[in-house]
């Protein structure tokens, strides 16, 4: 697809978003009492020291070693190795006492950071609250394993769950969830389950959290500056150099890599979550519109003044977003 065609498509989608509302939204929720706390948090984050360049060995190592607050897990995760395209592929599993479904969790980190353990605290809460087995995949990271190695690993994890979930966990009900780069990989993996495994009927819901669905970069992504909270222009530019070096925009916008351009018919219900201070907000608005206009059910949850990754931060808005996700998954488990 040419850049011109991509721009035309985005303009059409923008019209669709303004002309047709999501099937369900949080638009009527009043978050005004939480805004002062959110704005104070944003100000605090904006004063943090700049991070070293991801393009240096030291900077990449520092980013990979950085941590953020998460509650200590109650459940003890198990680790299972399955056969992956690059050798053993590790799955990190949180298994509650009561099991209603299985959730494949795909962590974020710009395709170059993070591990299956990155979301231990959140995955533990998800497992216990929703009564789902949470299986997090430790996919290979760029640049050591060039893109699209991460996609192939996520496909392998999905295939293993489709074939083994009933035997391992007593249910073949599946959810897929991921944020940021993990949101991108979640969408791509969902399409793989539909098109290659022909098992989309087993997927009861897809939880897409501030994902990147157009690797050619949407307008809001391109307008980010180095003053943008969390996802700065510098960080995103360096991530693209690190992960997609040598790739053209036309290559990156092929449907198998940029799910915004894929055929989205016959897909499960999806929950889309994003904050208005996130430079990936267009990705969520555009993808939700295409998912819905393809005939699928959607819930669009937008949180005012919230930056990228906000549901991992200790704010009331982040807590409410997570609560909405848990409620949505629990409802679909019935």
160, 88 contact by CB (below 8 A) = no
Dihedral, CA of residue 269, residue 275, residue 276 and residue 279, to nearest 10:
-90
What DSSP element (H or E) covers 168? helix 149-169
| pLDDT for residue 7 | 45
| pLDDT for residue 14 | 47
Alpha-carbon separation of residue 66 from 62, 104, 118, 204, 207 (angstroms)? 6, 24, 10, 34, 25
Please give the structure tokens belonging to residue 65: 């070693």
Strand partners, 94: 134
Alpha-carbon separation of residue 123 from 72, 73, 141, 259 (angstroms)? 11, 8, 20, 25
147, 184 contact by CB (below 8 A) = no
| pLDDT for residue 50 | 87
Give which of 305, 327, 109 is closest to 211, Cα–Cα: 109
**What kind of fold does domain 3-333 have according to CATH?**
Rossmann fold (3.40.50)
Alpha-carbon separation of residue 249 from 238, 257, 286 (angstroms)? 16, 11, 18
Q: Give the DSSP letter of residue 89.
A: E
Q: Model pTM?
A: 0.94
**Domain spans, the chain:** 3-333
Query: What CA–CA distance (Å, rounded) separates 160 from 20?
Result: 38
135, 157 contact by CB (below 8 A) = yes
| pLDDT for residue 4 | 42
**Can you say whether the dihedral through the CA atoms of 69, 108, 212, 122 is positive or negative?**
negative
Each residue's pLDDT expressed in tens, for the chain with a length of 334 residues: 554 455 445 545 544 544 455 689 999 999 999 999 999 999 999 998 888 999 999 999 999 998 777 889 999 999 999 999 999 999 999 999 999 999 999 999 999 999 999 999 999 999 999 999 999 999 999 999 999 999 999 999 999 999 999 999 999 999 999 999 999 999 999 999 999 999 999 999 999 999 999 999 999 999 999 999 999 999 999 999 999 999 999 999 999 999 999 999 999 999 999 999 999 999 999 999 999 999 999 999 999 999 999 999 999 999 999 999 999 999 999 8
Alpha-carbon separation of residue 19 from 12, 22, 40, 217, 273 (angstroms)? 10, 10, 34, 23, 20
Query: What CA–CA distance (Å, rounded) separates 95 from 91?
Result: 12
| pLDDT for residue 71 | 86
First to last CA, the chain: 41
């Amino acid at each position: 697809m040419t850049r011109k065609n991509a721009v035309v498509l985005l303009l059409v989608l923008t019209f669709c978003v303004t002309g047709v509302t999501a099937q369900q939204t949080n638009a009527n929720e009043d978050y005004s009492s939480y805004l002062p706390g959110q704005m104070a948090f944003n100000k605090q984050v904006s004063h943090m020291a700049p991070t070293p360049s991801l393009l240096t060995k030291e900077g990449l190592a520092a980013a990979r070693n950085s941590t953020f607050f998460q509650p200590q897990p109650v459940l003890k995760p198990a680790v299972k190795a399955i056969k992956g395209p690059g050798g053993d592929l590790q799955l990190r599993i949180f298994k509650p006492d009561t099991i209603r479904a299985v959730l494949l969790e795909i962590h974020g980190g710009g395709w170059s950071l993070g591990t299956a353990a990155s979301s231990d605290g959140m995955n533990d809460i998800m497992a216990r609250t929703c009564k789902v087995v949470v299986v997090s995949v430790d996919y290979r990271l760029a640049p050591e394993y060039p893109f699209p190695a991460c996609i192939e690993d996520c496909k392998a994890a999905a295939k293993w769950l489709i074939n083994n979930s009933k035997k391992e966990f007593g249910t073949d009900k599946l959810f897929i969830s991921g944020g940021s780069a993990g949101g991108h990989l979640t969408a791509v993996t969902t399409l793989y389950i539909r098109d290659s495994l022909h098992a989309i009927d087993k997927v009861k819901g897809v939880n897409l959290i501030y994902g990147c669905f157009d690797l050619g970069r949407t307008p809001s992504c391109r307008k980010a500056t180095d003053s943008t909270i969390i996802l700065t222009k510098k960080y995103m530019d360096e991530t693209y150099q690190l992960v997609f070096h040598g790739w053209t925009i036309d290559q990156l916008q092929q449907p198998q890599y940029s799910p915004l351009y894929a055929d989205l018919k016959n897909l499960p219900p999806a929950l889309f979550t994003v904050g208005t201070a996130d430079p990936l907000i267009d990705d969520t608005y555009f993808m939700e519109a295409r998912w819905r206009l393809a005939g699928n059910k959607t819930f669009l949850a937008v949180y005012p003044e919230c930056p990228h990754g906000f549901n991992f931060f200790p704010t009331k808005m982040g807590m409410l977003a997570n609560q909405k996700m848990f409620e949505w998954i629990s409802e679909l488990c019935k």
